[in-house]
Amino acid sequence: MLEFSAQQIAMMIQGQVEGDASVTVHDFGKIEEATAGQLSFLANPKYEAFLYSSAASIIIISDQQVLKQKINATLIRVPDAYAAFATLLTKYQELKSQQLVGIQTPSFIAPTATLGANHFIAAFAYINEGASLGENVKIFPNVVIGENVKIGNHVTIHPGVVIYADCVIGNHVTIHSGTIIGSDGFGFAPKEDGSFQKVPQLGNVVIEDHVEIGANTTIDRATIGSTIIRKGVKLDNQIQIAHNAEIGINTVIAAQVGVSGSTKIGKNVMIGGQAGLAGHLAIADGIKIAGRTGVTKTFTTANMTLTGYPAAEQKQSLRSQVYVKNLPELEKRVQELEILVQQLSKKG
């Protein structure tokens, strides 16, 4: 169990201590539930009342926060309480991870595999021939690393992940449980008799630095070349990235999104949950795609917001939704007009 003083924490997050700088904490807690020995934070004004009643030993707050009552906890003031708390959690996780070193048994490491310094290989992990792992790589139980896989430094691979042969993983990458990297792309050629012939998938997957991939996500290998996840991408759980797709720098994708083959997504794109993108499209930088949107064509204008099915610019899509909503009333009016026209025709 790791323990830190308020002064040590303030140094980590570049904050200013108010109160007893020597008080220590060994755990984290929500501000409304925290107990003595725990650290918490206040970022949302709706929780301000708990600032005065919390039993937390240390609370991180904004340097703009005005105190209305006496506070028992030691405070650490920072410009952005939420960002500082996130930084602290990251550092804490890194320190805990550093304690994991060595090779547990039973596990299999092929003779031609290479391991960098400070590695951790958990029991029941399988590392195949020619695999290369950098420094500070943590491999948890039931992970399978295929032949000739290249893994960089400071990589964490959680239980049950499978990385197929020849894939490349960069530095500071986290892959969560159940994810599959490099499975075959969905390539089948139709034949005259109505059956389908499998197209061999000979490429690989390249994941660049500072990428995080959620649980049970699948990234297919390319038919030829590489499926590429660029630097800084964050993928949620249960996402499907098809063969030869490319996800641009610092793009974030929420759960249950499907990206079809050979689609190229730009940098700083945001995609909401359950959205779907057809194949061989291009999505410009900075585009926001709302949840459950169906993207069926290329969009080349940067920083626009898309919604609906088929996807359209948000204002246009919302107008269309209004028209659709009014269709029953419009149909009724058209029927009334038809009757009126028939009556007038008879009189004529």
Q: What is the pLDDT of residues 274-313, one digit of tens each?
A: 999 999 999 999 999 999 999 999 999 999 999 999 999 9
Distances (CA, A) of 262 to 25, 222, 277, 281, 291: 50, 9, 11, 7, 21
Strands 58-62 and 312-313: unpaired
Instruction: Give me the mean pLDDT over the 45-71 stretch.
Output: 94
* Residue 1 pLDDT level (bands cut at 50, 70, 90): low
The per-residue pLDDT for 346 is 80
Compute the radius of gyration of the chain from its Cα atoms: 27
Token pair listed for 289: 């795609």
Tens digits of per-residue pLDDT, 97-117?
777 889 999 999 999 999 999
The continuous run of DSSP H or E covering 11 comes out as helix 6-13
CA dihedral 209, 28, 88, 236 (to 10 degrees): 20
Contact 203, 181 (CB under 8 A): no
pLDDT at residue 348 greater than cutoff 70: no
From CA 117, how far away is CA 102, in angstroms rounded?
Answer: 10
Tens digits of per-residue pLDDT, 209-245?
999 999 999 999 999 999 999 999 999 999 999 999 9
pLDDT at residue 256 greater than cutoff 80: yes
Task: Delineate the domains of the chain, giving CATH numbers in brackets.
Answer: 4-98 (3.40.1390.10)
The per-residue pLDDT for 333 is 86
The DSSP bridge partners found for residue 60 are 41, 76
For residue 46, what are the contacts with CB-CB under 8 A and spacing of at least 6? none
- AA letter at 36: A
- pTM, rounded to two decimals: 0.82
Tens digits of per-residue pLDDT, 174-186?
999 999 999 999 9
Q: Which of 119, 158, 176, 243 is catalytic?
A: 243
The per-residue pLDDT for 99 is 77
The continuous run of DSSP H or E covering 28 comes out as strand 27-28
Biggest distance spanned by C-alpha atoms of the chain: 98
Token pair listed for 216: 């049970």
User: In this prediction, what percent of the chain has a pLDDT beyond 70?
Assistant: 99
Q: Could you write out the three-class secondary structure of 116-160?
A: CCCCEECCCCEECCCCEECCCCEECCCCEECCCCEECCCCEECCC
Instruction: Give me the mean pLDDT over the 69-86 stretch.
Output: 94
From CA 310, how far away is CA 180, in angstroms rounded?
Answer: 30
DSSP three-state, residue 66 = coil
From CA 180, how far away is CA 262, in angstroms rounded?
Answer: 19
Q: Which position has the token pair 């924490």?
A: 9
Nearest Cα to Cα of residue 239 among 220, 262, 226, 266: 220
Contact 259, 275 (CB under 8 A): no
Q: Which position has the token pair 């500071």?
A: 172
Distances (CA, A) of 234 to 23, 136, 177, 231, 297: 36, 21, 15, 9, 24
Tens digits of per-residue pLDDT, 132-155?
999 999 999 999 999 999 999 999
Q: Which position has the token pair 């610019």?
A: 313
Strands 156-157 and 174-175: parallel
The per-residue pLDDT for 273 is 97
172 assigned to active site:
no
The per-residue pLDDT for 218 is 98
pLDDT at residue 331 greater than cutoff 70: yes
The per-residue pLDDT for 94 is 80
- AA letter at 260: S
The per-residue pLDDT for 18 is 95
